[in-house]
Chains A and B, each alone.
Chain A
Amino acid sequence: MNKSPLVAIGGMIALMALLLCPCNAAHAALRLDITRGQVQPMPIALPAFAGGGGEAQIGGELAGVISADLERSGLFRPIDPRSFIQNVSATDGTAPRFGDWRQINAQALVTGTIQTQADGRLGVQFRLWDVFAEQQLTGFGYTTTEQNWRRIAHIIADEIYKRITGEEGYFDTRIVYVAESGPQQARVKRLAIMDQDGANNHYLTDGRALVLTPRFSPSAQEITYLSFAGRQPRVYLLNIDTGQQEMIGDFPGMTFAPRFSPDGNRVVLSRAVNGVSNIYTFDLRTHSATRLTDDDAIDTSPCYSPDGSQIVFNSDRGGSQQIYVMSASGGGARRISFGSGKYGTPVWSPRGDLIAFTKIDGGQFYIGAMRPDGSGERLLTQGFLVEGPTWAPNGRVLMYFAQGPSDSSGYGGSPHLQTIDLTGYNQRDVPTPGGASDPAWSPLLR
């Protein structure tokens, strides 16, 4: 028996009733528009992940790393564990007593367990709860070696960030930067790499050759950078895992300011000959170079748009240093910066909507962002010297380096790393063992 016609007729009658009757609930409902809200960080409770014996300590540290990641984003406010009413480590994944968490104004709650498996690896599980709605928002389990627990913490922080904000996180990432040590006159500069929160810092080069402007490949496995190792400054490639280094191209003149294309197949860079600098791409597969600009100016700091179709760069072709956008094959360059002062180091956001830059105006340095058509310029932070922005992979946070003035004897003024988010309010220092400049943020590691 086929009863679908009856259903269809019934449905039509219901539809006609909806269309004809002015008295349905939707019409009677009071309508309100809310155009304002609070931008306070979301209160979130992160009790230690439950585990026995040795796991208990890691469980506490794991929750601490997640909590610190979320707090630094400026979008979350972890609640002091001393105010917790319910001891969830005893609940082992069952639904929390939401009333207890509402009472301390938690809007979100993260519970987790950690245990050593038969093969010696750690099993970590977590659940994210909406305290007001009394429901689970997300939950995952991971297995890893004990040494790798910090990465699991960052991955969980990314999942929480993603579920609450709807955007990708940026915690499971690394930073490559130039570690600086020694006096101003005999500065040692080494490539260093660390997690985005400053943990697991180690050095990639030994400091014998000066290095500048390291940039990650899209796979985060390789770094392109400028080294003074040879007779003159050159762009190199470094494989992070193998430590293998190679020079990119061997043509006359100095090459500098390298960056990978979004597909990782090319490096775009500047090449200086006889006092003028032009932009080239170097194909890593065919080892051939293509010239993209051809003028008597200094064209440098090239950076691809995330779709690979355009390149932003800075040039003094118009008299002062400004930002231009051109086709990725060269040509069609148009100026996009029109404010007062000079603009440099443009970097296209991974989500494509903004270009970050350094601006020098009235003796002050600024980090700012504008849309790719040059509209909507905003200056996010300023300082004696702030320079070289790099985007977090979700396009919400910028890292850069800041330096204060040296004293009369040449001491002080050591550079350090900072982050600022797009609101312009959430500015943080990034811990490094010593002086640090030229940071580059990796893509998400997964």
Chain B
Amino acid sequence: MARNEAKAEAKEYKPGQFEALLRNLAAQDTPPSPTAPPQTTHVAPGRASAQPHAPLGSQLSASEMDMVREQISRCWNIPAGARDAKELVIEIRVAVLPDGNVEQATIVDQGRTATDPFFRAAAESARRAFFNPLCRPLRLPAEKYEMWKNMVVDFSPKDLL
């Protein structure tokens, strides 16, 4: 008996914003707009003030921060639609070499990594971002190496149903 061929006619995934990731035919009949809403560029105030001794010229400018965040966003590939992803924050401690290549990326919450398979998968996807060829090297101003040789990067998907 002739079997129907499995049609690989999957609708195309639109890479882009987590916020616009889930389709809702009631709200929109077209895929989410590829234009990204503006991303806030501030560093958490408490954390910014933790660096009071750095001379002004050696701090990363907003556009320099934006650039590297944009780059890391393009390297972070996480499965969509997971339960409780909205509450998820993954903290990765990163040691960067002067050439911008990440030498070491460590998942800070090792306890949860050991006990929660979804957190582990998401945390590993975040860690993997730093070894993605698109993020080697990270685009950071060489003259400000002291500012970024150690980084803590918080990944938080906001794609929840």
Structural contact, B81 and A42, CB atoms closer than 8 A: no
Beyond A34-B154, A39-B16, A166-B121, whether A427 also contacts B131 by CB under 8 A is no
Structural contact, B24 and A429, CB atoms closer than 8 A: no
B150 near A: Cβ within 8 Å?
A: yes
Structural contact, A431 and B3, CB atoms closer than 8 A: yes
- Number of B residues contacting the other chain (C-beta, 8 Å)? 77
Considering the complex, give the chain A residue whose CB is closest to the CB of B4. A431
Q: How many A-B residue pairs have CB under 8 A?
A: 215
A97 near B: Cβ within 8 Å?
A: no
Considering the complex, give the chain A residue whose CB is closest to the CB of B118. A166
A249 near B: Cβ within 8 Å?
A: no
B139 near A: Cβ within 8 Å?
A: no
Partner of A39, one of B21, B68, B120: B21
Considering the complex, give the chain A residue whose CB is closest to the CB of B70. A36
Partner of B82, one of A72, A166, A198, A432: A166
- Number of A residues contacting the other chain (C-beta, 8 Å)? 71
User: Within residues 2 to 33 of chain B, which ones have a CB less than 8 A from any CB in chain A?
Assistant: 2-18, 21-26, 31
- A-contact 0/1 string along B64-94, CB 8 Å cutoff: 0100110011111111111100000000010
Cα of A416 to Cα of B120 in the assembled complex, Å:
38
Contacts of A137 in B (CB 8 A): 124
Cα of A25 to Cα of B104 in the assembled complex, Å:
15
Contacts of B97 in A (CB 8 A): none
Beyond A107-B77, A416-B4, whether A379 also contacts B24 by CB under 8 A is yes
Structural contact, A378 and B22, CB atoms closer than 8 A: yes
Structural contact, A32 and B23, CB atoms closer than 8 A: no
Cα of A38 to Cα of B131 in the assembled complex, Å:
15
User: Within residues 102 to 160 of chain B, which ones have a CB less than 8 A from any CB in chain A?
Assistant: 116-122, 124, 126-129, 131-133, 147-148, 150-159
B56 near A: Cβ within 8 Å?
A: no
User: Within residues 342 to 360 of chain A, which ones have a CB less than 8 A from any CB in chain B?
Assistant: 351, 353-354
The 5 nearest A-B residue pairs measured at CB: A424-B23, A166-B121, A166-B118, A132-B131, A37-B76
The chain B residues found within 8 Å of chain A, CB to CB, are: 1-18, 21-26, 31, 36, 39, 43-44, 47, 50-51, 60, 65, 68-69, 72-83, 93, 116-122, 124, 126-129, 131-133, 147-148, 150-159, 161
